């Protein structure tokens, strides 16, 4: 199981969330919304320091991570964060999507 951030997504995070080297961004599970992985749940994002990271990657000095308590959501699937130019937003791709 891996997490990856595309370059367009990284640029979006830097621009829209003012992330820079040394920052950390957590992906967390929220109740509600829609997801192709778990019915009734979706992903949220927040800038915070990891405490028990189960999955992480670093891009341009920025750490992107999922805490241990949220790892169940991914069901051992690879997780890619992309930027949709059409929607002008971040999209999450899991597994074979």
pLDDT, tens digit (0-9, with 9 covering 90-100), for 56-67: 999 999 999 999
Phi, psi of 24 (to 5 degrees): -135, 140
Find the Cα–Cα–Cα–Cα dihedral 67, 71, 73, 76, rounded to 10°. 150
**pTM for this one?**
0.85
What is the average per-residue pLDDT within 9-23? Answer: 97
Q: Are 27 and 37 in contact (CB under 8 A)?
A: no
- pLDDT number for residue 34: 47
**Pairwise pLDDT comparison (28 vs 76), residue with the higher score:** 28
- Rounded CA-CA distance 42/37 in Å is 9
Output the average pLDDT for the chain. Answer: 85
Helix (H, G, I), strand (E, B) or coil at 8: helix
Give the residue among 26, 65, 64, 57 at the shortest CA–CA distance from 44.
26
Give the residue among 44, 18, 17, 40 at the shortest CA–CA distance from 29.
44
Return the CATH architecture of domain 3-94. Sandwich (2.60)
The answer on pLDDT for 40 being more than 70 is no
The answer on pLDDT for 39 being more than 70 is no
């Amino acid at each position: 199981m891996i997490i990856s951030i595309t370059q367009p997504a990284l640029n979006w995070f830097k621009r829209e969330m003012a992330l820079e080297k040394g920052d950390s961004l957590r992906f967390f599970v929220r109740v509600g919304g829609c997801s192709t992985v778990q019915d009734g749940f979706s992903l949220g994002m927040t800038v915070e320091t990891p405490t028990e990271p189960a999955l992480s990657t670093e891009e341009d000095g920025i750490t992107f991570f999922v805490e241990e308590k949220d790892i169940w959501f991914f069901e051992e699937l690879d997780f890619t964060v992309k930027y949709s130019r059409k929607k002008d937003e971040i999209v999450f791709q899991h597994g074979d999507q």
